[in-house]
Amino acid sequence: MSDLTVSSPVASAVPPLPVAPPPGCPFGLPAGLDALRAEAPLSRVSLDDGSEAWLVTSHAEARAVLGDHRRFSSVPATPGFPTSGMVGGSTTDTNIVSLGFIRMDPPEHTRLRRMLTGEFMVRRVEALRPRIEELAEGLCDAMERAGRPVDLVSAMALPLPSSVIGLLLGIPEEDHPRFRDITARMNSRECSPAELAGVLNELAAYLDELVTAKEHDPGEDLLSRLVVEQVRSGELSRHELLAIAAVLLIGGFETTANMIGLSALTLMRDPETAERLRQDPALIRGAVEELLRLHSIIRNGPRRAVTEDVEIGGRRLRAGEGVIIAIPAVNRDPREFGNPDVLDIGRPNAARHVAFGFGVHQCVGQTLARVELQIAVATLLRRFPTMRPAVPLEQLPFRVDMTIYGLHALPVTW
């Protein structure tokens, strides 16, 4: 047996999966990740249900895993898939969320994803830019009217991506309050697993109604196009369409919202960088890549199951074992990013981050997320040059307990 082989250590010696930043250091890497990476690019960790998985903390190894969909499956029903602590991760789930193509392997995954790639092409997303800018300006107007202090999360970070996804999916204006209510409850810290299941059912019922309306009277939106071009031709089942709508809504909303909140706070705490961006808006694109790298908001995945024995980073992984990619650790791997804990908006290789994943599942909405972030950051910097947190950093409610890191609220003044 090769000395590269790692025998399963005794359960008590296996550290738990690190997810929360060190106390008092909200922008820090989840405590323990640096130490794990310094030891090896892959380590064994224990999960809440007592199971174990491999945790990947280095850049090259993360790309090796995410780039190999043949030996690393995204399907939760695959033996060894680490479902512990994952929303919609149960292998018995039949709700529309668990059936999304994010949890499929090729060729099923390819068939469904291909129907969406055109919708998220750079050209199409760039065409939305003026409308997104208008939405951001409108939200800033509302903040000015409301007066100081304002919670930036509920005033800008949440409504901007929620309106954009509404626009994309063709959610009629009059349904926005209902749709916002569902998404707000889904995002609430107080939402228990049972309540979440109820909210997801409500969402499924709402999307069903929406799709029925598109079937009768298609418009110019993504869902209508899928109904007309794919469902009617039999390429896409109605159930698959609902799953796509749910995954876009869930995947595309909370993620971007949290990145907006964290980015705004980071720049409020770094006035010099904020001033450079105000002076030269061409720097915004690079700044957004660097903010995505530094914050790496996905704290609990992506996850895969090994389907065939394979050696990665000097470790032998066996079929039936689970793998979790620690995106925050990977994006601060010093072998890839020099001085990785520092925000450097001119970092030449910032865009090599894996904040959007890598390989066949790499985020389908990344261009849209980038445009939304660029607009949110640029508009806030221009409209509120003196904006600052209205409470000390220690009082800010960071989402230390959530799969997607960020802020529950961000009171600001100016």
Q: Which residues bind ligand HEM (CB under 6 A)?
A: 74, 101-102, 113, 165, 247-248, 251-252, 255-256, 259, 297-298, 302, 355-357, 361, 363-365, 368-369
Tokens of 275: 């001033």
Q: What count of residues does the chain have?
A: 414
Between residues 313 and 357, which has the closer beta carbon with respect to ligand HEM? 357
- Rounded to the nearest angstrom, the gap between the alpha carbon of residue 64 and the centroid of all alpha carbons in its chain is 20
Question: Closer CB to ligand HEM, residue 14 or residue 351?
Answer: 351
Cβ of residue 366: shortest distance to ligand HEM, in angstroms? Answer: 6
Helices (H) and strands (E) counted in the chain, each on its own, are 15, 10
Q: Vertex 278, ends 273 and 281: CA angle to 5°?
A: 100
Residues in contact with 26: Cβ distance below 8 Å, sequence separation at least 6, in sequence order: 393, 396, 398, 400
In contact, 279 and 287? CB cutoff 8 Å: no
Shortest Å distance, C-beta 86 to ligand HEM? 11
State the minimum distance, in angstroms, from the CB of residue 1 to ligand HEM.
Answer: 32
Q: Which of 181, 188, 131 is nearest to 160 (CA)?
A: 131
State the nearest-atom distance from the C-beta of 390 to ligand HEM, in Å: 25
Q: Which is nearer to ligand HEM, 77 or 391 (CB)?
A: 77
In the complex with ligand HEM, the residue whose CB is nearer, 43 or 73, is 73
Distance CA 175, CA 406 (A): 27
DSSP 8-class letter at 230: I
Instruction: Give yes or no for a contact between 115 and 258, defined as CB atoms under 8 angstroms apart.
Output: no
Nearer to ligand HEM, 126 or 195 (CB): 126
Instruction: Compute the least distance from the CB of residue 357 to ligand HEM, in Å.
Output: 3
Query: Residue 119 Cβ, how far from ligand HEM at the closest point, in Å?
Result: 9
**C-alpha to C-alpha distance for 215 and 18, rounded to whole angstroms:** 46
- 224 vs 256, beta carbon nearer ligand HEM: 256
| Structure tokens belonging to residue 143 | 């903040």
Q: How far is the CB of 364 from ligand HEM (least distance, A)?
A: 4
The CB-of-413 to ligand HEM minimum distance in angstroms stands at: 26
Return the bridge partners of 404, or none.
Answer: 298
Q: Alpha-carbon torsion 342, 345, 350, 353, what sign?
A: positive
For ligand HEM, the closer of residues 112 and 274 by Cβ is 112
Q: Nearer to ligand HEM by C-beta: 186 or 248?
A: 248
What amino acid is encoded at 134 in this protein? Answer: E
Task: Give the integer Cα–Cα distance in Å for 276 and 271.
Answer: 9
**Using CB atoms, what's the residue nearest to ligand HEM?**
365
**For residue 376, how many other CB atoms are within 10 A of its CB?**
28
